[in-house]
A and B are shown apart, each in its own frame.
Chain A
Amino acid sequence: MNIAVCVKQIPDPATPYDLDDDNHWVVRPNDQVLDDTDRVGVEVGLQLAEATEGTVTLVSMSPSGSLQGIRQALAMGADKAVIIDDDTLKGSDALTTARILSAAIDREEFDVVVAGGESTDGYTGVVPQMMSEMLDVPCLSFARKVDVDDGIVTIERQTASGYEVVTSKLPALLAVTAGIVEPRYPTFKGIMQAKSKPVETLTASDLGVEPDVGQRVTEVADVASREAGDIVEDDGEAYLKIVELLEQTKVI
C-alpha cells in the first residue's frame, strides 16, 4: 500500500518565536521541528505500512531549512520525503496549501493519505477536507481508530457525544486526532538512517501550480489574559450548581 503522510515543520514550541512586523508571518528559524500532531499521523501511516508491507512518503510544504523536522519523521521509519520549498508560497493560506500538497501527492498512485487534524502553528483545520476534494477521495475526519482490511478502511470518528463508525473504499484521506496512537520513539538506527533517505525538493512550478495567495493577515493581537473563575458558595445545594455548570460545558 502506498501511504502519503502530510507533515509540517514548525518552530520549536518550547522556544518563543517572532512574527514579522510587516506581514505578521511566522519568522521561521533554520532549525524547525516536526509538528507534534504529525507524529501521530506518521505513526498511523507506519502502522498501516507495516500491516500491508507498504511504503510511507512524507509530503511537506515548508522552507526546508535544516530539514530537522522531516528527519525526525524519517527517523521514525518513513521511507522518503517530498518537500515543496518555494519562496512564492510564503504566507500561503489553507487553500493554496491544500492545492500544493494535493498536487504533490497526486504525482504518484496512492492508497491512503494521512493528515493531522490541524497544525500547531496555523490551526486552520481545513486543509485535509480541501485536499480530499482536490484528490477526489473521501475524507474520513476526526479518526480516532483506523483499520484497513481488503481495500476497505474503517474508522471511529470522534464526535462531541461519542463516536461514529465510518467506512470507505480506498483510496481515501484520513484526518487523525491526537491520542489515536502513541507515536513511537525514533530508534537510534532510524535516526542514523534518516540522513540517507531520499528527500526530493520541488517548487510550485514543478507541480504546475500557480501560487495565488489571496489571504493577508491584517492584524495580530495578544491573547486576552484569562479571567478568574467563578466561585460557587456552598449553601448546602452548591452541588446542583456545579453539576449544571459541568453539563453546560459538556464535561458530563
Chain B
Amino acid sequence: MTERLKPETPDPVDFLAIDDLLTGEERMLRDTVRKFVADKVTPNIAEWFENATFPAELVREMGDLGLLGMHLEGYGCAGTSAVAYGLACTELEAGDSAIRSFTSVQGSLVMYPIWEFGTEEQKQQWLPGMASGEIIGCFGLTEADSGSDPGSMRTSARLDGDEWVLNGTKMWITNGSIADVAIIWAITEGDIRGFIVPTDTPGFSANKIEQKISLRASVTSELVLEDVRIPHDAVLPNVTGLKGPLSCLNEARFGILFGAVGAARSCYESALTYAKDREQFGKPIAAFQLTQRKLVEMMIGVNTGMLLALHLGRKRDEGSLSAEQVSYGKLTNVRMALDVAREARSVLGASGITLEYPAIRHMNNLESVYTYEGTNEIHTLILGQAITGIAAFS
C-alpha cells in the first residue's frame, strides 16, 4: 500500500475518478455521445418537453453515429461492448430519459429479439434499416390489464391457413405512433410467441396517449390489433413463453441502470452550479450546512450509482451477469436518481420548477422509469426471491 494520499482534491462530479476505470476507446465513445447530446438535445429539450414533441429528426443522426442496436454484432450494427452501450445510455439520459428510452426500445426491445430469436431472413430484412434509423420499432407486451403480470395478456394469435391473425390491445407503448414495425407478444395455443408486425398492416392502429406529464418528449401509444393478418413466417421462431419478452426487458433494464445515473448527474451538476452562484443572507447557499449535505448526498448517489453500473457492465462483458443483478441495478439506480432529482429541485428553489433547469423534467421522467421495465416493487420481489429462495409471486 502506498503511504501517501494524493494531494489533489477530487473532481466535484467524477469524485471517485471512475473515468480512470474506462479505456480510451470507452471514453472517446462516451465523449462523442456527450457532445451529440450537448449539441442536439440540451439546447432544445425544454421546448420538446413543453410541447410534447419527439425529435424524430434526430433518429437518422443517431443511426449515423451507431447508437441504434449498438451492442449487437453485424447487420449494420456497431457491435460495441456492453459497457460502451451503458455509457451511451448514461449520456443520452443526462439529456433526457425520452431520448434514452427511444434508443432502448429500438435497440434492446425490437432489434435485440429479431437478432436473438429471428431467422436470417428476418435479420436481413429489418436490422440494417433499424440500425440506420430508417425504420423505427416499438415493442408491444404490456396491456391495460396486464402489466407486472405479462402472463395474463389477452392479445391472441391464431393460424388461419398460411397466415397468423392477431387480435388485442397493447398499452403504454413507447414509439407506438411513429413506429414502422412492432414486435407484438401474443398468446397462441397457450404459449406466448413474438411476431414482427409492420404497422401499415390492415387492422393495426396506434393511438397516441395525450395529457401525460412524464416522458413528454417521447411518444407513448395504445396499439389496437383487429384481425391483423401477417404471413406465417412473421413469427420469431426461436423462442416460446415469457422467456422471450423477459430477455428483451433484461437488455433494456441494463441500459436503464446506466441511464438513470446520467439523469441524476445532470440534476446534481445543475444544483451544484446554482448553489455556488445563488446568494442569500450575503453568501452562496452552498455555504449553508443544509445545502452542503444535500449536495454531498447527491454526489455520493451519482458516484456510487456509476460504480455499480460499471461493475455490472464489466460483468456483462465477461458473461457473468445474472438477471437478478440487473434487477439490483435497475432498482437501486433509478431510486437513487429520483431521490437526487427531488433533492436538486429543492436546492434550485422556485427556479427548480421551471424547464430552464433540468431537475423537475428529469424528476417527472424518472417517475416513468421507476415503473417501466419492471416496477420497483417487482424488482424488489425478484431480489427477495433470490436471497430467500422463496417466490412471493409466480
Contact = CB atoms under 8 A, between A and B. Distances in A.
A203 to B, nearest CB: 24
Contacts of B207: none
A194 B65 CA distance: 15
Contacts, number: 44
B35 A188 contact: no
| A interface secondary structure, majority | helix
Residue in B29, B70, B84 with the greatest tally of chain A CB atoms within 10 Å: B29
B24 A68 contact: yes
A187 B68 CA distance: 12
A185 B28 contact: no
Contacts of A194: 25, 28
A238 to B, nearest CB: 32
A194 B80 CA distance: 13
Interface string B7-45: 000000000000000001101110010011000000000
A187 B66 contact: yes
A188 to B, nearest CB: 3
Contacts of A106: none
B28 A68 contact: yes
B35 A191 contact: no
Interface string B69-100: 01000000011100010000000000000000
A202 interface: no
Interface in A181-202: 185-189, 191-192, 194-195
Nearest to A67: B24
B177 to A, nearest CB: 28
* B interface residue count range (under 10 / 10 to 19 / 20 to 34 / 35 or more): 10 to 19
Contacts of A72: 28
A188 B28 CA distance: 9
A188 B70 contact: yes
A169 B53 CA distance: 50
A185 B25 contact: no
Given A185-B35, A188-B67, A71 B78 contact: no
B78 A188 contact: yes
B28 A186 contact: yes
Contact of A191 (B25, B36, B67): B25
A191 B80 CA distance: 10
Nearest to B26: A191
Contacts of A67: 24
A185 B32 contact: yes
Interface string A25-47: 00000010000000000000000
A66 interface: yes
A6 interface: no
Interface in B218-235: none
Nearest to A187: B66
Given A192-B78, A192-B79, A192-B80, A187 B64 contact: yes
Contacts of B27: 68
A75 interface: yes
A189 B65 CA distance: 8
Contact of B29 (A31, A66, A188): A188
Contacts of A75: 28
A189 B75 CA distance: 13
Contacts of B25: 71, 191-192, 194-195
Interface string A206-233: 0000000000000000000000000000
B329 to A, nearest CB: 23
B66 A189 contact: yes
B24 A186 contact: no
A186 B32 CA distance: 7
16 contacts: A68-B24, A68-B28, A185-B36, A185-B65, A187-B65, A187-B78, A188-B29, A188-B66, A188-B70, A188-B84, A189-B66, A191-B25, A191-B32, A192-B78, A192-B79, A195-B25
Given A71-B24, A189-B66, 8 more contacts: A185-B35, A187-B78, A188-B80, A188-B84, A191-B25, A192-B25, A192-B79, A194-B25
Chain A to chain B: the 3 pairs with minimum beta-carbon distance, closest first = A188-B66, A188-B78, A187-B66
Interface of A: 31, 66-68, 71-72, 75, 185-189, 191-192, 194-195
Interface of B: 24-25, 27-29, 32, 35-36, 64-67, 70, 78-80, 84
